[in-house]
Every structure is written in C-alpha cells, then in structure tokens.
Structure 1
Amino acid sequence: MKLIGYKSTKVAIGAVISILIAGQLGLLYSTACGIITILSIQNTKRKSILIAIRRMTAFLIAFFIAIPLFLIVGFNTFVFGLYLLVFIPIAIKIKVEEGIVVSSVLVTHILVEGTVTPSLLFNESLLMVIGVSIALLLNIYMPTFEEELSSYQDLIERKIQEILLDMSTSLKQHYVSIKEETYFNELQDIIKKAKEVAINNRNNYLFSGDRYYEHYMDMREQQFEILKRMRSHFKHFYMTVNQTIMIAEFTDKVANSYFTNYSTEALLKGINSMRGMFKRMELPKTREEFENRAMLYQFLNDMEQFLKLKVKFKVRQINKYKPTSS
C-alpha cells in the first residue's frame, strides 16, 4: 500500500477512535478531538512527535493568553480577535505555528461557553491530549521505504547509463540526440523525488536514522551537476581526432559498468592510462584542433570527478562500518 493509502487509513481510523473516546468520557465538543488527530498524523514518526510537542506548547500559551483576556475584557468576538493578535506572533516567534489553528479552535469553546471553569479547562485539555495521543499511537507503525528507495537507485543508474551512452554516440557522430533534454529532465526529477523519500525514511527513526540513502542521493545529485557540465562541452566538439574515439569508447565503458562488475577504481586507472597515451601523441597542428582537444581533455577531467564522487561515497560507507581499534 502506498504512503498516501496508509495515511488516509490512519486519519480515518484515528478520527473515529478519538471522537468515540471523547464521547465516552462525556467531553464537550468531542468532534474537535477527531480534528486534532487528523491534523496531528504526519508522514514520519519523528515529525509526528515534533508536531505533538509544538501543539501542546501552543495550547498552553494560547490558554495563558486567552483566559485573562476573556475574564478581564469579556467574552465576545472582539476579544477573540485581540487574543489572535497577541497569540499568533508569539507562536510564530517560538516556532510552534502548527498549533495556532488547533489551539484557537479550543479557545473558541471558552468563547461559546462564556465562562472559565476548572471543568471546562479540563475538558479542553483532554481533547488536546486524546487527539494528539491517538495520532502518536497510530504513527508507531510506518511503512518501510527500503524497497521504494532500492527501485529509485536502480532507476537513477539506468538513467545515468542512458545519458553516458548518448554522450558516447554524440562524440562519435557529432550530433546531439533529440532525447538529450528528456534524459536530463527525467534524471533530475527522479533524484529530487528519491531524495524526499530518503529523508522520510531517515525520519521514521526516532533518535538516529540510517542516512545511507540520503548520502547516496547527494552523491547522484553532485554527479548530475557534473553531467550537465560535460554536456555543455559538446558545443565545442566539431572534429574527430583519435582522442575523440578513445574518450567515446571509455564513456561507453563507464556507462556499461553500472550493471557489470567493472570497478570505479579500475575506470579511474583507465583515465590515467589514457592521459599517458595522449601525452605521447602528436601535438595539434591548428588552433581549431587545439581547442577541440582541450575541450576533450576537460570532458575527461569532468568524467574523472564524476567517478571520484562514487569512490568517495563507497569509502565513506566502508569507514562507517569499519570496526574501531581498541
């Protein structure tokens, strides 16, 4: 079931349970309890707890402001407006704005009743506690994002492979594919969506979450920026030289390494080997050939940075799980 399905089910069940509990306890305005639950159910465990704390804090501040105003000035709409003028800036200032609406709804109950009594204050407090508590209980279980993130990884790698193969063909044939823009837009959208899911995955851990997928998406995001830079070089490639074919074939090798056992470290050694061969080749004879070869070298430098990001990511993961010496 998709996240939206889980959340919809929780909202429906939570609202009903909250209203029923409030009704069984004989609380006034029991339906408000269901609304509090609806607003308190979030997409992650960590966010649910954070919102609950903010709502409870806002509730206490709201009643601390509203009660004296009603008792001193009177129970009327203008006083409620005055309460809002005082409460809203304070709530925003201390970053508990998520509790503005809910707390203000509960304050209206005092306005409607036209009195402040211990039983009414207890009533409103229970509405808040029950509504928030039911939301927290329902958010103890959250769906796993692992399978979805794994699918995103596979999709991102396939899209990068498409782009690299397209670049290789463009180097050999001196034309830019009509699908180039589509490939880049698709990859950008996928990385953006995957990063959001990765953050939600980490926030489903209350204290410390595994940031592997976030770091992975960060790495792919940086690689995407390098791919865009590599793409920009193509407007300067207008002749075929030996180096062009060599770099095109190497780009093919990088593309195909995504679904083979060919290591990134071996690819980096291949770049160093190519540089050695380039140094032994005949120097450019014309300005045009010199400029073309210079851009090819820059393309190769960018490819090196592209691969080094992957190595850096791998090393980071290895060090994270490396046993510490005693």
Structure 2
Amino acid sequence: MKFIGFRTVKTAIGASLAIIIGKELGLQYAASAGIITILSVQKTRKKSVKSALKRILSCILALCLALILFNLLGYGEIIFGVFLLIFIPLAVRFKVEEGIVVSSVLVSHLLVEQSTSAFWLWNEVALMIVGVTVALILNLYMPSVEGRIKEDQLFIEESIKEILIKIAEAMRNGEFSKEDEEDLLIDLENRLRGARKLTYINLNNYFRGNDHYYVRYMEMRMQQLETLKSMKEHFRDDFSTYEQALMMADFTEKVANSIYEENTAENLLNDLYRLRENFRSMSLPVSRQEFESRASLFQFLNDIKQFLRVKNEFIIDINMLELNEK
C-alpha cells in the first residue's frame, strides 16, 4: 500500500514552486499562491483546466466587487461580511463557486492593506495566475491508467466466460450453485464499477473527442452484467431432462467462448434466431411442469439475445465513430 500518492507529491512540489515564483516576482502574500496551487491540482487534465478558469473568473469578480464596496463603504470587518453576502451568491449564479474560498482570501489582503490601488489589485490577480499556472503545468503529466483498464478488461471477460460456462453446465447436469454464482457476480460487479471509474479518469485526461472507447466498453459490460443477473433467476428447476436445455447449454457455452472484446456477436445472433425457430418447431409441452420449465428456458433465450445485442450495438457504435473520425 502506497503511503504517498503521485498527486500528493505533485501538490507538495507545486505549492513550493508557486511560493518561490511569487517571491521572485516580488508579490506580497506569496504563500497564497502555494495555497491556490494546492486547491488547483486535480485528478484529471480537463478538470484542472476547468477549475483554473473558474478560479480566475471568480477572482476577477471578487476584486471588482471589493473595489466598489471598499471605496464606497470603507474598509472594515462588517463591509467584508457585506462583500461575502453579495459575492458568494454571485459566484454560485455564474457557476464559479470553486473560486469562492481563494478569492475571498485574496480580497482579505486588500482589507488588511486598506487599499484597492492598482498595485494591490494586480498583486492578487498575479497570485491567482501563478497558483493556477503551476497547477496546470504539473497536471500536464498524468500517469496512464490504460494498463490497469486493460487488466480489468481481461478479468471482466474471463469472469463473464466463467459464469456462462457454469450456467451451461447447470443446464446439462441439473446442478446449480446459487452461492457460487452470486459470488462470481459480486466480484464481477465490483471490478466493473472500479474499472468504469478508471475509464472516466482516462477520458478526462485527454482533450480530444475520440477517447470514449473504454467508457463505452465498460458501460456495455455493465448492461451485460444486468442481463446475467436476470439469467440466473430462471434456474428454479432442473432443465437437464429437456432436449431444449441441452441445446441451450451448447449455445451458451459457444457464447462463453466468444466473449472476447473484438467479437461482433452478429454470427451468434444469427445462430440464436435459428435456435429459436427450432424450439418453435418442436412438439408442445405435455405437462404443466414441462410448460413452465420450457417457458423459463425461452425467457433465458431472450436474455441471451439481449446479452448479444448489447455487444453487437457496441461494436456498431464504435465502428461508426471510427468512420466519422476518418
């Protein structure tokens, strides 16, 4: 377990650099630049840029408001309170609330110095610029998470394959362990949720518009997970005595062995439609028990169709995106 994370190291280095730069530029209250850097180091590049812009706009708004209030009403603690009463709602209204704290600190410098001269106004703007610029430069480098995402992909695909194979075995031999299946589904869901978070971090570390692949992939697998949960609900009876169950078991195993990322699922969908037609051509159930069991199998078949359709639509969407980018 790491005691100090990469972001912590960047924050410490950035805060020190911002203070040093502030002092070298002759800025007063140079330590504030370091605090601004601490608050501006974000998890992703996009978030860092958005945060920087909002803080600069918030700073300009705060200084303009302070210039008016302090010159009209004087410098005092009550006037600073009036400033906050007006500034905070305005910052929220203009969606720059991320800069409320640091901008208020910068305005407090004017209060302490009892001045809104050009020197002090520029001093506060410069502190903000130094702080957010250092943070932006540091955030240009973000450790890649693609390796971890690919590891998650392999785990997810192997887990789905294992679950489908267990389902196929249960259809053949009539033995189905709900506990084992539940544990596999829980592990898969936990890994999927963590992987999905990583894909959004990866997405927000790039400024191009074509980095949605991993996000779409994980969303596709999340939809398939929900279908898997539905599949297991159909196993209330022993299906192994029915010919349809053995046919479904073979098909389910075929799906399991074709779960890998690049498979379009189009051929599997065609096989499924043929299988469904075969089911319809078979003799009707002769007992209530057989009717209920075959109805459950038919519902399972619909779940498999949904499972494959989600994958097929994912591949089509990705191919369309690639064509549009060319």
8 Å Cα contact 2:168/2:253 also seen in 1: yes
* Cα drift, residue 145 of structure 1: 2.3
* Cα drift, residue 16 of structure 1: 0.8
* Cα drift, residue 94 of structure 1: 1.5
- CA-atom RMSD, angstroms? 2.3
8 Å Cα contact 1:166/1:177 also seen in 2: no
2:26 is paired with a residue of what secondary structure? coil
Matches within 5 A, 1:1-326: 5-171=5-171, 172-235=173-236, 237-240=237-240, 241-258=242-259, 264-322=265-323
| CA spacing shift, 1:18–1:263, aligned 2, 3 Å | closer
8 Å Cα contact 1:14/1:134 also seen in 2: yes
Compare 294-303 and 171-180 and name the one that shifted more.
171-180
8 Å Cα contact 2:45/2:204 also seen in 1: yes
Aligned residue type for 1:15 = A
CA distance in 2, matches of 1:26, 1:263: 62
CA distance in 2, matches of 1:273, 1:284: 20
| CA spacing shift, 1:318–1:207, aligned 2, 3 Å | closer
- State the Cα deviation string for residues 12-46 of structure 1 (Å, max 9, x = none): 11111100011122221111100101111112221
| CA spacing shift, 1:147–1:89, aligned 2, 3 Å | same
CA distance in 1, matches of 2:176, 2:94: 57
Figure out how many residues of one structure are paired with residues of the other and give that number: 322
8 Å Cα contact 1:66/1:107 also seen in 2: yes
Aligned residue type for 2:184 = Y
Aligned residue type for 1:85 = L
CA distance in 1, matches of 2:104, 2:87: 9
* Cα drift, residue 316 of structure 1: 2.4
- State the Cα deviation string for residues 186-213 of structure 1 (Å, max 9, x = none): 2222222222221222222224241111
2:225 is paired with a residue of what secondary structure? helix
Q: What TM-score, normalized to structure 1?
A: 0.90
* Cα drift, residue 263 of structure 1: 6.7
8 Å Cα contact 1:219/1:309 also seen in 2: yes
* Cα drift, residue 238 of structure 1: 4.5
Compare 144-153 and 165-174 and name the one that shifted more.
165-174
2:293 is paired with a residue of what secondary structure? helix
Q: What TM-score, normalized to structure 2?
A: 0.90
Aligned residue type for 2:163 = I
8 Å Cα contact 2:167/2:176 also seen in 1: no
Compare 199-208 and 37-46 and name the one that shifted more.
199-208
| CA spacing shift, 1:239–1:202, aligned 2, 3 Å | closer
* Cα drift, residue 144 of structure 1: 2.0
CA distance in 1, matches of 2:34, 2:88: 23
Return 5+ residue gaps in structure 1 as ranges: none
1:179 is paired with a residue of what secondary structure? helix
- State the Cα deviation string for residues 237-278 of structure 1 (Å, max 9, x = none): 355422122212322222222369987333223322322332
CA distance in 1, matches of 2:11, 2:110: 27
Aligned residue type for 1:307 = L
Instruction: Give runs of ≥4 in structure 1 deviating > 6 Å.
Output: 260-263
| CA spacing shift, 1:229–1:46, aligned 2, 3 Å | same
CA distance in 1, matches of 2:225, 2:262: 22
CA distance in 1, matches of 2:130, 2:20: 11
* Cα drift, residue 177 of structure 1: 3.0
2:235 is paired with a residue of what secondary structure? helix
CA distance in 2, matches of 1:192, 1:77: 49
8 Å Cα contact 2:73/2:79 also seen in 1: yes
2:116 is paired with a residue of what secondary structure? coil
- State the Cα deviation string for residues 193-238 of structure 1 (Å, max 9, x = none): 2222212222222242411111111211111121122122223x35
- State the Cα deviation string for residues 127-169 of structure 1 (Å, max 9, x = none): 0010011111112222222212111111111221222123223
CA distance in 1, matches of 2:51, 2:261: 46
CA distance in 1, matches of 2:146, 2:45: 16
8 Å Cα contact 2:264/2:311 also seen in 1: no
* Cα drift, residue 118 of structure 1: 1.8
